[in-house]
Amino acid sequence: MAKSKSVSTESSAMSFRRDNKPSPSSARPARRAPARKGQGGGKKSAWSEPSAAELEQSILTSRLPLRVALRVHLVDAAGDAAVSTFVKLPVAGAPRNDDMAEIVLLECGVNTWEELVEMQRLLDRHSMRARLPCRAMVTPFHHLNEEQDDDEGRDEDKWRVQVQLQASAVDALWREANNLMLRLNSLGLPARSLLAESISLSLWEGQAEPRGGSFECMGELQCKELIVMSVSPEQVIQRVMFAFEPASRVVHDPLVAVRYPELVSLVDEMLEAFEKTGSSQLVILRGVPGSGKSSLGREIATIAHDRGAETVICSADLHFETPRGYVFDPKELTRAHERAQASFADAISGIGKRRAKIVVVDNTNTQRWEYETYENAARQANCGVHILEMRCPDVPTCLRMAQRNSHGVPAVKVVAMFQRWEHDDRARVFSPQFEFPLLTPNPITRPALKLSHHHVAYVGLFIEETSRQDLLSQQAQKQAAPAPAPSKEAPAQDKKGGKKGGKK
């Protein structure tokens, strides 16, 4: 199993100043969606998806354009370096580093030291366990340079080892790049993929002798490390190494990793209720993107699986999962919710298969009407209903949640969800858990919000309903009070006895 082993950060030639000078990308006004022809004026959206040209320009004009690459090397079925299986090397043993290749996944733009640290935190926790199937070939080097004149001479002993990734491997790389891009977008960083539809690599070239006339075979690329490079000057500023450990025969308790131990007793209660009634138990999750509600649902499924029970998770986000990662399409949102509702109906009715003991509805559900359909259907089917909510007490916490959401939802949209949140006193509330503290004392002024609000920070004062009604009544009394009568004082006279303002 692969995991992030270590990270090293080297000094970069680019430095970030603590000043008020806006970066070129953050100085641009917020992008607004153009009004459609025939619709006239009206209020426009405060944020819209940037075009490909705008995204590229935003990265190029950032203070520190960066590229993220994956370093891989060819291995055989036993996990050993495979270059030596093709050619007899002049030095005994497989090459150490010259059989490594880099696959550039994406590029992004960083404008502040806070953004750089947040990015390094994100990548430090990253790991890639997949091995990438490929077709490996050994080719005479001069076959790749047919335009070379015969008079220049050719080195018949020089060979090149190349690999062509299979379609499943290309999808895995796209999925990796896409997931990283969405996480960087959540941090407020512009990012775009640099992968091609077909990927070929040259792993090694040099003086060698082919082994046994074998010129082609199937192999795998093992992911060794993730590197972050500055574009100009080209320099590695972060390196995250993946450690591959042999699979352990020791069976680990899956409940050890559960972050909310109180879920264990809750799941046991739901399973006991199912045994008594024979009806599914519905769990409705509530929380803004990045709050941890989906992790809460996965922990419920883990506990239930440990108890030998099946859990069905219904979420609109599942509609946007593709072989190349999460790809959101707003035009498909209605259909996504319809599919989630259909999956829910099948799970509680047991149509076509056994009825699920626990059904989890995993959506933001910021207002009660959003999950009333599920709740009413569950009541009619005699299902138990449990509402679990990830608590978000204030805007700074909301912004911290926005930074870690995995689908690239902009901070301004996450804050909008928080502002329209409807309280449900039936919900069982859980507190979010954060791995790192905030880097800035006032996250409301983060560049992600500045970019969308023209460098204006909006501060709201939220008061209870009784205080609000009191203020409104006082304001109504002031408006109803009669205006004071105008004063009838004699006009002031100047030194000459004339009236001020009078005509001569």
Segment 5-31 shows an average pLDDT of 40
* C-alpha–C-alpha distance, residues 423 and 414, integer Å: 17
Whether the pTM exceeds 0.85: the reply is no
Cα distances (Å, whole numbers) of residue 132 to 106, 249, 277: 18, 25, 48
Same fold? 2-10+50-244, 254-452: no
Q: Return the CATH fold of 2-10+50-244.
A: Cyclic Phosphodiesterase; Chain: A, (3.90.1140)
Is 182's pLDDT higher than 60?
A: yes
Per-residue CA distances from 62 to 107, 180, 226, 341 (Å): 11, 19, 22, 43
With 0-12 CB in 10 A as exposed, 13-18 as middle and 19+ as buried, what is 48?
A: middle
More confident residue, 105 or 498: 105
Confidence (pLDDT) at 208: 59
pLDDT at position 39 is 38
- Which percentage of the chain shows pLDDT scores above 70? 68
Q: Between 47 and 118, where is the model more confident?
A: 118
Q: 131-152 pLDDT, tens per residue?
A: 888 887 777 765 544 554 554 4
Q: Which of 78-92, 135-149, 374-388 has the lowest mean pLDDT?
A: 78-92
Report the pLDDT value the prediction gives residue 47, as an integer from 0 to 100. Answer: 61
Q: What is the 3-state secondary structure (H, E, C) of 293-326?
A: HHHHHHHHHHHHHHCCCCEEEECHHHHHEECCEE
Q: Give the DSSP letter string of 154-203.
A: --TTEEEEEEEE-HHHHHHHHHHHHHHHHHHHHTT--EEE---SS-EEEE
Domain 254-452 adopts which CATH fold? Answer: Rossmann fold (3.40.50)
Reported confidence tier of residue 233, pLDDT bands at 50, 70, 90 = confident
Domain ranges of the chain: 2-10+50-244, 254-452
What does the pLDDT look like over 29-42, one tens digit per residue? 333 334 333 333 33
**Range 164-171 average pLDDT:** 92
**Cα separation, 332 vs 464, whole angstroms:** 38
